[in-house]
Structure formats: structure tokens, C-alpha cells
Chains A and B, each alone.
Chain A
Amino acid sequence: MEQTLLVLPMALTVVGAFVLLMLSTVKTIGLRRYLAVAVAFLAVSFVIELPQFGNGPARYAFPDIFGKMYLIDDFSTLFDLMFLAGAILTLLINSVYLEKRKYYNGEFFALFLFSIFGMMTLAHANDLVTAFIGLELASLSIYALVGYHKNNPLSGEAMFKYLVLGSLAGAMFILGAAIIYGVTGTTVITEIGTFVQQQGSHYTLALTVAGMLLFVTILFKIGAVPFHAWVLDVYHGSPFPVTMFMASTFKIALFAVALRIYLAYFALSGLHGSEILTVLTILTLLGGSWLALSQSILKRMLAGSSIVHGGYMLIALSSIGLGSQLAAPAIMFYLLSYFISSVGAFGILSYIAADAKRPLTYDDFKGFAQKRPYLAAMMAIFMLSLSGFPSTIGFLGKFYIFTSAIESRQFLLAGLGIFIAFVSVYYYFKLIAVMYFYETESKREPFRFGMSTLLITMMALMAIWGGIGTGLIPFFPGADGLIDIAKQAIGSL
């Protein structure tokens, strides 16, 4: 019974997906109903999962059936919570957008839930094969979601680009896993970790190559340079809810598996993980910045900048290998901060894009502060947070990342990261500048209260609270409480 309760959130997500799939054949159900059903399933999962955090030591789910494949610990629980919250927020914030676009139906939500299930599997996976299944489950659903707007050639192109390249990258994972199995005789991550620690020095080359193959897949999915060629087009071609989902929630899932594998595989051993990762991090930071700088369409700019944010987290990831105690919690915190700010920014874009016929550029935001002062102020908050301006959660996220890099004596990376943050000020502040510097002819529109705007407001408040918040308010974690939670989750590994 207890075992059932542990996996119930995951099970509910799948059940929800199937229910939606069956409902999607019924023509009379409106979009609102689908949305309500999807959110209801996710919310129930969330509520069941929430008290499990901090609930004793790590254990295996149904060990007599699955062996050591499914691990349940604070780490995975925290990530599950983030996925569920991410999915709920993505759906609700985009409700206006979804309603204005007629091509959404029940399948869309079913795919959404399937991909969440895949991500949860990924977070729980203690086995490379399970991780692969989770990864592909999440990815396949997202491939379909990317091409969901069937009549839009951009969307179709994006889907094929992502599908072909993504499958190729996925194959690397299996190849890596196969080599590891050949060397170590197991695919269970914890056992591989033990093997690497004890006898890794005899097989350095094979293990490093295999590890890097695993990481090629992960780096591809987070869009690290030089595996980034798809990012801008795919983010641009996808419908807004999907872009938001990929940029925030899916990225969190990838770092979940990256952290688990890296901590077990590279961090404890003499394998050359950090050196290679350092080079890739530098490339990612520089390349992503270049891409983000040169865009005029906002969606593409955010896509480019999401590569850069992946780069920041890679800084911390390679610091883990060099003995930084803070790096792993720093990644968790950064994920959270990036999630809040990017979901907010994408949310406002999607809210406005619901009425627009063409992609939004910087120029479309001229005089936005006059037209919609509250939305403009919130957009400014998200931009500040993304650029790491102090008194927002984005600043603390970067603060933790850079201190962890300094802790592991990676001055080059810390310095470069700070320089890249400086560069990012340009493309984020350009949006603030166009919003506030221009007068507009059109009349001021009132602030419409609705699910989307309410949630965006909440995100903006969280971005501020996360940056300056203290533990003064009980039961409401400030900056301090969040990093404690992250530490606890990492501690359970």
C-alpha cells in the first residue's frame, strides 16, 4: 500500500493522459473542459506528492518487480513537484492563447501529460535504460507537440528538424549505455558509480567516451553549443505553450538526469568530465550570447538566451567535479529561478501573441509601458531577473552559480559567466528600453483579470520575493528556504 502511494502521482499522470485521449474522440467537449481535466489530474498528483518531500531515506519502488530501476528520494520528489507545477502553470498561463487558437483539442493535453510522465520517469530513473525510456517518452510527446499546428509550415519544419536530430542524439545515449554495460556489467546508475570509483582507473578511456556519449544526448536536448543548431528554429516554430514548456519544464528534467548521472559517474572519479565540460560550457556561453544578440523576434531572442542559461548551469555542473559543495544546490536553485522568470516572460508574450498574427518583435513593444503599464512592469521584472539584476531571484541564482565556480577555483568560467551576464544586459534591457522609451498613439488598455494575468502577476511577485525574501513569513520559503530545500534534495542522493 505504501509503495502504491509512492508511485501514485506518476500513475495518476498516465491515467490522466489516457482519460484525455479517450475524451478527445468526443466532439462536444470544449477546450475549457479538457483544460480542467488535465489540470485536475496534475493538481491531484501534486497534492499527493507534496507531503512526500523530506519523507525519510531513499528507497526503491516495487523492488520485487522493477529491481533497482525506480528510485524514490527527495531529489526525485522535488523534481516531480517542479514538473507538475511547471505543467500546471504552463497550461493555465496559456489558457488565453489556447482558447484563441482553434486547433487545440484533447490530444494536445494527453500528449502533455505523457511527456510529464516521461520526465517523472527520468527523475526517478536509477537505471540507464529507464532513463532512456523516460527521455524518449518525454521527447516523443514533445516532437508531436512542436508540430501541433498542422497548417503552419514553420511548425512542421520545426518538428522534423527536432525529430530527426533528436532521435540521432537519443541513439548516442543508448550507445553510451551499451559501452558502459560492456565495461561494468550493469546499467544501474548507483552500481556504475561504485564501479567507476573502485576500478574506473583501469578503463578511463572507455568510461570517459561512454560518459560523454550519454552527455551528448543531454547537452543536445538542453541546446548546448555545438549541439544547438535546432534551438532557435524549433522554439520559434512551436506553439507558445510548447515553447514555454520546452524552455522551462523540459530543461529542468534534463538537468535532473544530468545531475544524477554526473554525480554518480564523473564527480567521484578521475574521469575527464570537467575538462571537456568546461570547453563546452565556454562554447555554449559565447555561442548562445551571439545568437541571442542577433535576434529581432522576441521568441528567438528568448530561445537564444535559454542556451546561455543552460551554459550558466553547465558552469556549476563542471564545478561539481572539482569539489564544489555548493554547485549542485546552485543548479537546483538556478533551475527554479530560470523557471519563474522564463515562464513569466513567455507567458506575457503568449498572452499578447494570442491576438497577434505574426511573430512579436522588439518593435511591437514600442510604447508598451504606456499602453499596458502593469504588464510592462512585470515584463521588466522578468527581464531584470533573467539578466541577473539584483533584488530579483535571477540575481541570487547567478550568485550561487558564480560562487560555486569560484569555490572550485574555476576563475576563467566564473569571470566568463559574469562577462556573459554583462552581455545579456544588452538584449534584455533592449526590451525594457523599447517598452519605456517610446510614446504610443494607441489608447491605454485596462488590466484584464483572468487566469493568465493572475498567474503572471504571481510569477512576477515570486521573482521579486525570491530575490529579497527572508524567512520572516512562516511556511513561505524565501531565498534562504529555497536553497535549504535544494540542499536537502541533493543530500538525499
Chain B
Amino acid sequence: MTTSYPPASTSPPPIAQVGPVAWMRKNLFNSWFNSILTILLVWLLGSTVINFVRWAFSLAQWEVIPANLPLYFVGRFPASQYWRVWVLVALLAALAGQTWGILAKAAPRLFSRPVLIGLAIAALTAVIFPTPPLYRLLILGVVLLVAASAWIGWQIGSKTPGFGKWLALAWAIALPIALWLLLGGFGLRPVNINDWGGMLLTVFVSVISILLSFPLGILLALGRQSTLPVIRWLSTAYIEVVRGLPLLSILFFASVMVPLFIPGNIRLNLVIRAIIGLTLFTAAYLAETIRGGLQSIPRGQTEASRALGLSTPLTLGLIILPQALKVSIPAIVGLFISLLQDTTLLLIIGLFELLGISRAILANPQFIGRYAEVYLFIGLIFWVLCYAMSWGSRKLEQSLNTTH
């Protein structure tokens, strides 16, 4: 090398820079290029924000949101039966709080500062959201219920280690109770599933689809890994064909073709057909996710369980699958997020889920042209749901991280 080295420096080390000015010099104006970029971005961002605020507070007509709140959340569910939805929400809030508490049992403090801020924001939203006073109280109650049951779950979880299993059972029991509350019968007034809409339909369809696709997805994943050629080919063909097709074509298949496949005298509800379509679709993606989990389990695990004398079904059920499913939890949550977003496509086959009901509201002459307000509101709901799920899955991944 011909470059001459500078003489050994005798100057003191640079002083650690603190303070906003130093921070800005370091992070925003450290070169001429970055300075130009920063100024450009600030100008762009500033004008966008100013325009948005001006629009939001002077031009936007937000009354389209509070005027249609029941439609957004439960569709045309009969108003006299709303209490059933509230009972369900309370039940789920209590269970979710318990689960959160149990999962966070290792944490030194349950209500750390970000959690407290989150709860405060939720409570504040409940108070300032323009709903009847009764509903504000109810939302506030739900937030409190989550916090309280989380605290109880945290207390129990740190004392009795086996409590998690009972919680899984509680979730399993909650499902039929939820169906009973929503559909009626057995003493409750029956509600037609066609009257469900909005967020109720979105969440219901995605939860049921992912639950139904689980067994099918596990079978397909095992089938694709199988040493039996016929089973492997059948599973692979199914997975690859379904993954190669757009979801819209699967939904089209479900709404148009499924009636052809069943005996002519049975008529299937459109919601059920949509669930069939989403289940067939999700199972293929779930199968690939679980296959990834299966592949991550070292061969030694199979060999060890064989050496212990376990048969193939027992090896799979007791040794391989539990580990594989645990590994694929983050990916499964990702799948659930995309399924929740994909339910918006149901509007194309004529169901009034969250986005479909917005289109219906926008078709009302009273609210015509209020696109920005309605879509921002719906977008915020989806964003909060999906972001919360991905955040939760990251946390879960950290707490389950048992490196081999």
C-alpha cells in the first residue's frame, strides 16, 4: 500500500455527544446528502400532516362513523339481542386476560410501562369514543376486565404451573358457548346467520376457518412428508394447486361450484360456503407452515422415540408434532393475520363483512362520497387487530424461545 498513515493520534478521544442538537447532527445532518434528504422529507411530511389535519378537522364529516357503529360491529344483528354480544365480548376478554397473565408469568412485573400506556390509551378511547354513555361504560368495563383477569392469571400462573392446560380447555369450551350466544336456540331467540355482518362476521369467519383448517393442514403436512408415494403425491398436488390459485378463484369455486358438488336438495348458506372455501385455501398454506416446523425437528428425535419402542402414530403425536407446532406458532399467527385480511374478499361474493358493510353504508345516499372517513376507520380497525396480533406473536416467540 502506498497510502501514508497519519501519525499516531495524541488527541483525546471524542467527547460523547449528547443533547438534541448533537443528536440531530448525528442522525439527520451528517452529510450534505442526508441534509438535503432530511429537509425534503420534513417538507413532504409537514405538508402531508398539515393537509391531513386541516381535512380531518374542517372538511371531514365524521358522523358517518357513530351513526353506523352497530352496522360496523355486528351488522344487522337484532338490536334487542346486543346483550348477547356483550356477554360474549366479556367472556373472551376474561379468557384473553387470563391467557396473557399465564404467558407473562415469568415476567417480573405484569403492568410494565408500555402495557400501562396501552391500557390507558384503550380506556381513553373508550371514554372519548362517540357512543351512548352505556356503551362507554361497557367498553371501559371490558378493558378493566382484561387487566383484572390478566393480574389474576399472572398470580395463579406463578403459583400453579399446570394451570395453562385448563386454560386451553376453557378456550375449547368457549367456542360452543360463543356459537350458542350468537346463533341462539336452547332458550335464546334464534338469530339468522345472514344477519351477521361487520366485525362479527369477519372475526367469526376467520376464527372458524383457521380452526377447521388445522386438522386438514396437519394431515396434508404429514402426507407431504410421508414415505408412502401415493399419499405424498396426493398431498403435494393439493397443496401446490391451491397455492397456485388466487383466493378469489377459490371463493368463486366455493360459492358457485360447491352447490354443484352436494346433492341438489341440500342448500348451503353463503357464509358456510365461504368458510369451506377459506378452509380449503388456508389448509394448503398451513400445511406448508407446519411442514417447515416438521423439517426443523432433528432426525434424532424420531430415532430416539423409535428406540423407546413408540409406533409411528405415537412418535408423531407425542414427540414430533408438539415440537413442530410450537416452532411454527409465529408463522401460524402470520397466516391468521393474512386470513383476517383476506376475509375482505368475501364482499366480492356478496357477504357483508367489515369492508362489505362499509360499501353498503357508502351506498346510502345520506353518506355518499364519505370514502376517506369510512375507509380510514376500517383501516384503523384492521391495523389495530393485525398489529396487535403480530406484536403478540413476537412476544410469544420470545417467551417460548427454548433453544435446543
Whether A associates with B in a native complex is no
Q: Which residues of A contact B (CB under 8 A)?
A: none
Q: Which residues of B contact A (CB under 8 A)?
A: none
